[in-house]
Amino acid sequence: MPTLSAPIAIPLELLQPAVPTILDYRQGDAGLAQIGTLPSDAQLYLDLDREQFIHMYPPLPYRQLDRTNTVVDGLYGEAGTPVFISPVQMPVLVMLEPPKKLLRRWGVENVQDGIALLSEGWMANHAPSGFRVTPGDRIDYFDGGSTFSLELVTVKFVDYFGNTQIPLHRVCTLKNLAAS
């Protein structure tokens, strides 16, 4: 029966990962961590994204639908004249598609859809308390001297920060109300 000998010495280079680890020294010499794993790293990335939105995209009036004061028809469950809370000026990236004329059941309709990108970091730091981005809200968009009222149809989270599941943006599909 073979006997066990002294432990085998494995070189330290073989125990290291193949890709070098980037370390963060902000916690001092005792606490080292990989960049992107600390909560402060995620907050830093949200703040950088917020600053990018503030400096690159124009502040547009965002009108949130007042769901308590808007009258809803009891029979059909549809809202009558919508009531909005006072607008909040927020930086928004709006991209509109070219207008289209579509032949529908009741005649020709003008349709112009688009998307809007909202910064999650901006909303966390600058939006009033109780502010929520929901379908039915409206964004007033200025283009070439004319104003469009764009209604939010869907709202989704996109552009997550690394593998942390912290969303950076909300993408909203828009319907141009002036086109119809």
Q: Is this prediction's pTM over 0.75?
A: no
Q: What is the CA radius of gyration of the chain?
A: 26
- Band of the pLDDT at 107, cuts 50, 70, 90? confident
- Dihedral angle of Cα 85, 88, 92, 96, to the nearest 10 degrees: 40
Alpha helices in the chain (DSSP H): 12-15, 39-56, 120-126
- Band of the pLDDT at 112, cuts 50, 70, 90? confident
Interval 49-97: pLDDT, tens: 888 888 899 899 999 988 888 888 888 877 778 889 999 999 999 998 8
Amino acid at 50: R
Question: What's the whole-number mean pLDDT along residues 172-178?
Answer: 86
- Going by C-alpha positions, the residue among 62, 39, 36, 43 that lies closest to residue 117 is 62
- Band of the pLDDT at 19, cuts 50, 70, 90? very low
The rounded distance, in Å, linking the Cα atoms of 92 and 140 is 10
Q: Is the pLDDT of residue 127 over 70?
A: yes
Q: Is the pLDDT of residue 46 over 90?
A: no
- Going by C-alpha positions, the residue among 118, 128, 109 that lies closest to residue 174 is 118
Interval 134-166: pLDDT, tens: 998 999 988 777 788 889 999 988 877 666 677
Q: Is the pLDDT of residue 34 over 80?
A: no
Correct CATH for 39-176 of 2.60.40, 1.10.10, 2.40.10, 1.10.3470: 2.40.10
